[in-house]
Chain A
Amino acid sequence: MAKVLMKGNEALAESCLRAGCRFFSGYPITPQTEILEYLCWRMDEVGGDCVQTESELAGINMLMGAAAGGARALTTTAGPGFSLKQEGISYLCGSDLPAVIVDVQRIGCALGDIFMGQGDYWQLTRGGGHGDYRTIVLAPATVQESVDLASIAFDLAEKYRHPVLIATDATIGQMIEPVELPEMKEHDPDKYDWALRPRREGEPQRAIWNRYWDWEDGGHKYPEYILKKYGEMEETEQRWESVLTEDAEIVMVAYGTSARVAKSAIMKARKEGIKLGLIRPITLWPFPKKAFDELGDQVKAFLDIERNILGQMKDDVILTDGNRHPVEFYGEYWDNISEVKILEKVKEMLKKY
């Protein structure tokens, strides 16, 4: 298929439709709103439903009903709206329901601001809702990758009967890049035998509720099921990109837009003879531990790079590395991640370590 120029948010929305998504419920919030606006007319064309709900809370809980009915269902939001999605994400996890939730990240807590940011890593990867749960979190760095991961997201959601999160950001959502879109697919709501449709005479009841109620022993085997489910995700779903890590002495860890800048810093560094590499997590959870396992003994330190103040992903770099190397953080709040500052920081680190 020929390439077209598309804005990140719209390309992602179109890709979801092409994956067979026919239900959307959400609420306007910058920098996500184009997804809602796009689907409000485009969903009509493909015969689906797009509902602008009274709040994000309603958006996610309406999505839960549609997901239970077997639809490929989507909701999207940003920052403050993502906080309101947490109740529903916990319920989707506790009910074993697939769905795709997109957080077009912005900056800061409270209102923060609508600018580019990677403010929600902790909420995305730790589970901002109640109870102990995990969700696969896909983090694209380009518009094309948003498109590719959107359709993978629905497949993964159904594979595990579990919600999947996509973490983009204001830059990827707003930028225009050439993309190749997948072919249009239809999804059959009756594909799975857990999906709710009216019960036919003689059939057993289908109920979507606290999943542990389904175990005849009163739920005592449920923890085992959950551990296996998350264990399998950790084992099979790690995704990442490694750039020149074979000989790298300093390995940057960055995702999304920050990773784009980190990548271009590598080219500059290499020209100056600095052995700089990058691990770009594509799944924020499961965190790509395997990428770290592949690293050689020449690595001296890690540099975590994010668009936030506290360096939220640094926790995972330290945990994964197991305290074997120093881990430093370079972050920006108001400004873009800068190649120049990355190089300054790397030179400083090479002197230290």
Chain B
Amino acid sequence: MNFTIPKDIDMSQQASWCPGCGHGIVCRVITEAVEELGLSDRILTVDDVACGQFGQFAMKYNTIMSAHGRTVVTAAGLKHARPDALVIARPGDGSAYSIGIESTIYSAVRNENILTIVINNSVFGMTGGQMSPATLPGMKTATSPFGRDENKDGHMVDITKLLGQMDIAYLARCAVNTPANTDRTKKAIKKALQKQMNGEGFCLIDVLSMCPTNWKTSEIQACEFVKETQSKYLPLGEFIDKGGKE
């Protein structure tokens, strides 16, 4: 298999993710999807201050770093100012489902015509692996040292259930733990960008993504954890596909 670095990937700046992190893979598939659709000159990205921020160094797109948790709503504002641009928000699960859940829900309610790609590693990565809304039941984190106890810690948030009934354009869950899943992620991104071009409205892709550092696993074990555990609790699939034009 021939592998070339996508031209929208910036090799001149340093994106300091840990080895085996899913963030970089997501950035790579975004650039591949964009290039395959020939849309490089139409993209604007909005990143959170969390581990996602390095995406701004990894990709050449013009970009803004939002406050933690405001990624989706700041992206919506940018789209209002630049309706011809294709706007991609890239928050983490903590950003989109904890501190920013209000804005995630209301951007969906308003059916803002943007694509939100949530890098879901089931922890607060940047701050050292605390429990996030997407932390799995029983999963140990820095703030659930005995495993997430749903009676005490509240139940896990599955965004596809929360947004599943909403009148939005697209809702899917993908993963980047295997080449096949990564390829599906790329397809989902392409579909969602097409929908944004059609003016169909809010698209959200929840991408299960490895955080070996805070999961305290090897890079390979992290990929297996996505397969064996994370995706069991947070199943992959397409949940809303309105219009459905590819």
Contact = CB atoms under 8 A, between A and B. Distances in A.
A65 B103 contact: no
B28 interface: no
Interface of A: 23, 25, 49, 51, 53-55, 57-58, 61-71, 73, 87-88, 91, 95, 189, 196-201, 205-210
Contacts of B81: 23, 65-71, 73, 189
Interface residues of B, number: 35
A197 B74 CA distance: 15
B106 A61 contact: no
B43 interface: yes
A205 B86 CA distance: 16
Given A95-B64, A201-B40, A49 B80 contact: yes
Contact of B62 (A66, A87, A206): A206
Contacts of B46: 65
B102 A197 contact: no
B222 to A, nearest CB: 28
B90 interface: no
B74 A64 contact: yes
A197 B77 contact: no
Nearest to A60: B70
A65 B43 CA distance: 14
Contact of B110 (A51, A67, A200): A51
A51 B42 CA distance: 24
A53 B74 CA distance: 12
B77 A55 contact: no
Given A57-B102, A65-B76, A205-B62, 5 more contacts: A58-B106, A64-B74, A65-B75, A73-B77, A205-B60
27 contacts: A23-B77, A25-B77, A51-B80, A54-B106, A58-B103, A61-B103, A62-B73, A62-B80, A64-B74, A64-B77, A65-B64, A65-B66, A65-B74, A65-B75, A65-B76, A65-B78, A87-B70, A88-B70, A91-B67, A95-B64, A189-B82, A196-B63, A196-B78, A198-B42, A198-B61, A209-B53, A209-B56
Contacts of B63: 196, 205-209
Contacts of B187: none
A145 to B, nearest CB: 29
B102 A64 contact: no
B78 A69 contact: yes
B64 A53 contact: no
A61 to B, nearest CB: 4
Contacts of A23: 77, 80-81
B224 interface: no
Contacts of B73: 53, 58, 61-62, 65
A196 B42 CA distance: 11
A124 B104 CA distance: 29
B62 A55 contact: no
Contacts of A54: 102-103, 105-106
Q: Which 9 A-B pairs have the closest CB atoms?
A: A65-B77, A69-B81, A65-B78, A61-B70, A62-B77, A209-B65, A71-B81, A65-B74, A54-B106
B67 A88 contact: yes
B44 interface: yes
A205 B10 contact: yes
A55 B77 CA distance: 14
Contacts of A210: 65
A49 B78 CA distance: 12
A69 B77 CA distance: 8
A199 B61 contact: yes
Contacts of B60: 199, 205
Interface string B193-215: 00000000000000000000000
B65 A53 contact: no
Residue of B60, B65, B74, B106 with highest tally of chain A CB at under 10 A? B74
B184 interface: no
Contact of A196 (B10, B44, B70, B103): B44
Nearest to B89: A65
Contact of A200 (B10, B41, B75, B78): B41
Contacts of B103: 54, 58, 61
Contacts of B74: 61-62, 64-65, 68
A207 B78 contact: no
Contacts of B56: 207, 209
A197 B44 contact: yes
Contacts of B43: 198-199
B44 A198 contact: yes
Contacts of A207: 56, 62-65
Nearest to B67: A91
A210 B63 CA distance: 12
B79 interface: yes
A55 B70 CA distance: 12
B85 interface: yes
A209 B56 CA distance: 9
Nearest to A61: B70
Contacts of B40: 199, 201
B9 to A, nearest CB: 12
B65 A66 contact: no
B44 A71 contact: no
Contacts of A87: 67, 70
A71 B62 contact: no
Among A57, A95, A196, chain B packs the most CB atoms within 10 A around the CB of A196
Nearest to A196: B62
Nearest to A97: B64
Nearest to A72: B81
